[in-house]
């Protein structure tokens, strides 16, 4: 594993790079309030792969957005695009878990010429709401931002407490929670501070409509693998059932585990990934 960072136009993204530098090029995007350590267990079971796991803006070791900005879903698309330009990778496989899977699906629709294959773990396109809910959604978003600004930041008293809280919040095993917490804590003068930007916990300003969500999925040209957990989120399974027909080339599999199955039960997930990727040869990078 190698720590690496990328300076984009407006912020710096941190990442961890695993595997064979000459292997298959894969960009991995983690879930909400997680970080690039989310892919450490999976990377141990992937051979012949050059896996670049990103800390999304506001997460892990990456920069927070500026004080006058917020975490709009579509802004992460630009971050990923700028990252790919910095890397110089013409094509790559895109792998995303939860929020990272949502971002990956939007990216594959927006820049289809770059994405060789798309894998969504416990995700199936963006969350959607009825159009008439938008005014209330925006109201709740604005109020939540102000509320966060007015509240004093709370940090964990011990690493043990932080790990236990992460286990309970994410319904994942202690070893998995330990990996995420280790990258998400800053220790200063024996005081622990969360690295995660508190603004990530505010309410989204806007949801896509179901028609818009389906429009993005229809624009994906790459073959798609959707992996769900046997005890995963029901919302993901519902979205998969009602949206599957909108994806041109779709493979769906279910592996034992919950929402973080790629961490808690990585080997079968890795086997599915390797089998899927073997069907589509990597193009040489210039």
> Cα separation of 118 and 213, whole Å?
16
Higher-confidence position of 127 and 286:
127
Q: What tens digit of pLDDT does each residue of 205-252 get?
A: 999 999 999 999 999 999 999 999 999 999 999 999 999 999 999 999
Check residue 284 and give its pLDDT: 58
* Residue in this structure with the two tokens 């959707």, named with its chain if needed: 226
Q: Which domains does the chain have, with CATH numbers?
A: 2-127+208-277 (3.40.50.1820)
**The pLDDT of residue 286 is above 80:** no
Spatial contact of 145 and 199, defined as CB atoms under 8 Å apart: yes
**pLDDT averaged over the chain?**
95
> Cα separation of 242 and 44, whole Å?
34
Q: What percent of the chain has pLDDT over 90?
A: 90
CA dihedral 180, 183, 186, 190 (to 10 degrees): 70
> Cα separation of 141 and 88, whole Å?
36
Q: What tens digit of pLDDT does each residue of 155-196 get?
A: 888 999 999 989 988 789 999 999 999 999 998 767 899 999
* Residue in this structure with the two tokens 């013409």, named with its chain if needed: 90
Check residue 1 and give its pLDDT: 85
* Residue in this structure with the two tokens 């890795």, named with its chain if needed: 270
Supply 92's token pair.
């790559």
Check residue 154 and give its pLDDT: 84
Over residues 82-109, the mean pLDDT reads 97
Higher-confidence position of 169 and 66:
66
Supply 94's token pair.
């895109």
Residues with a known catalytic role: 98
Q: What percent of the chain has pLDDT over 70?
A: 98
The full DSSP string for the chain is: -EEEEEE-SS-EEEEEEEE-TTSEEEEEE--TT--GGGGHHHHTT--SEEEEEE--TTSTTSPPPPTT----TTHHHHHHHHHHHHHT-SSEEEEEETHHHHHHHHHHHHSTTTEEEEEEES--S--B--GGGHHHHHHHHHHHHHHHHHSPP---SSHHHHHHHHHHHHT--HHHHHHHHHHHEEEETTEEEE-S-GGGGSPPS--B-HHHHHHHHHT--S-EEEEEETTS-HHHHHHHHHHGGG-SSEEEEEESSSTTHHHHSHHHHHHHHHHHHTTSPPPPP-
Spatial contact of 243 and 209, defined as CB atoms under 8 Å apart: no
- Measured in degrees and rounded to the nearest 5, phi and psi for residue 268 equal -65, -30
Q: What tens digit of pLDDT does each residue of 19-31 get?
A: 999 999 999 999 9
Spatial contact of 195 and 63, defined as CB atoms under 8 Å apart: no
**The pLDDT of residue 145 is above 90:** yes
Residues 6+ apart with CB under 8 A from 275: none
């Amino acid at each position: 594993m190698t720590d690496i960072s990328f300076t984009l136009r407006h912020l710096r993204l941190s990442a961890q790079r695993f595997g064979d530098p000459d292997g298959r090029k894969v960009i991995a995007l983690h879930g909400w309030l997680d970080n690039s350590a989310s892919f450490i267990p999976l990377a141990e079971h992937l051979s012949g792969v050059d896996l670049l796991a990103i800390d999304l803006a506001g997460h892990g070791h990456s920069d927070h957005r500026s004080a006058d900005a917020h975490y709009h879903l579509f802004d992460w698309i630009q971050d990923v695009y700028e990252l790919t330009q910095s890397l110089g990778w013409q094509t790559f496989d895109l792998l995303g878990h939860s929020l990272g899977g949502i971002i990956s699906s939007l990216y594959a629709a927006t820049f289809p010429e770059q994405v060789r294959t798309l894998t969504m773990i416990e995700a199936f396109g963006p969350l959607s709401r009825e159009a008439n809910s938008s005014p209330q959604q925006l109201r709740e978003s604005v109020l939540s931002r102000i509320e966060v600004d007015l509240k004093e930041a709370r940090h964990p008293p011990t690493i043990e407490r932080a790990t236990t809280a992460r286990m309970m919040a994410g319904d994942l095993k202690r070893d998995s929670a330990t990996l995420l917490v280790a990258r998400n804590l800053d220790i200063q003068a024996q005081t622990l501070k969360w690295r995660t930007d508190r603004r990530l916990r505010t309410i989204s300003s806007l949801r896509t409509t179901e028609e818009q969500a389906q429009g993005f999925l229809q624009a994906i040209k790459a073959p798609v693998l959707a992996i769900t957990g046997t005890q995963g989120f029901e919302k993901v399974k519902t979205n998969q059932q009602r949206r599957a027909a909108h994806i041109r080339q779709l493979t769906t599999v279910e592996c034992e585990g919950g929402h973080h199955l790629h961490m808690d039960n990585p080997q079968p997930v890795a086997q599915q990934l390797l089998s899927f990727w073997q069907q589509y040869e990597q193009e040489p990078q210039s």
